[in-house]
Amino acid sequence: MLPGAALAAPADPSGTWLTEDGRARIRVEKCGPQEKNVCGYVVWLKVPLNDKGQPRLDFKNPDPKKQARPSLGHQLIMGLKPNADSRFEGKIYNSEEGKYYDVTIWTEQPTELSIRGCMLAILCGSQTWTRVSDVAPGQLTGPTNGPGGPRPDAEWAPKVAPAAAAAPAATTGTAKPAAAAPKPAAPKPAAAPPAE
């Protein structure tokens, strides 16, 4: 490795992006241990319901346990890692085919996210997603893995913070320091006899 080659960290691609075909909005955010990876979630679909008026499901997923999950809110960018080219690379999931592809993402300007995916080295394609700041009707706006937010796959779910795990102990009353007893008031000096 050349000196200084590791200095260029990839630009943070966090934000909400409209896919090139306009059919979905993807929330991209840091994830994983020490938030060094990048994950992405479907937070809006142009057509969220199937022909029967029911939420679209991830029925082509190769994992039978995930085939009944709604398409809206599922994770599609799987913990991409920074690479030597100052980009993020890893796997992206295509629910329309139920397949994973190698992908590289990067941003060179704040309004665009470049996506390059390959099924095989010779079958590659690129897209440009556009940053959005408004909220579309039906868009998930809650925190990831929280109420009204997208759901990460188990391996990328946020771990319980140590402070949150310790919080129940504080409610037992044993962790509270005892209140100090009030100090007694200082005695008032005795009144001096009147001078004659």
Q: What is the pLDDT of residues 74-125, one digit of tens each?
A: 999 999 999 999 999 999 999 999 999 999 999 999 999 999 998 776 778 9
Encoded tokens for 179: 């209140």
The answer on pLDDT for 175 being more than 80 is no
Give the pLDDT confidence score for residue 156 in this predicted structure.
83
pLDDT band at 69 (very low <50, low <70, confident <90, very high): very high
Q: Is the pLDDT higher at 171 or at 81?
A: 81
Question: Tokens 């509270």, residue?
Answer: 176
Give the span between the Cα atoms of 38 and 26, in whole angstroms: 12
Give the pLDDT confidence score for residue 133 in this predicted structure.
96
Nearest to 91 by CA among 163, 18, 156: 156
Q: Mean pLDDT, the chain, as a whole number? A: 82
Nearest to 22 by CA among 45, 55, 51, 56: 45
Give the pLDDT confidence score for residue 165 in this predicted structure.
40
Give the pLDDT confidence score for residue 65 in this predicted structure.
93
The answer on pLDDT for 196 being more than 50 is no
Nearest to 126 by CA among 148, 144, 102, 110: 102
Give the pLDDT confidence score for residue 178 in this predicted structure.
41
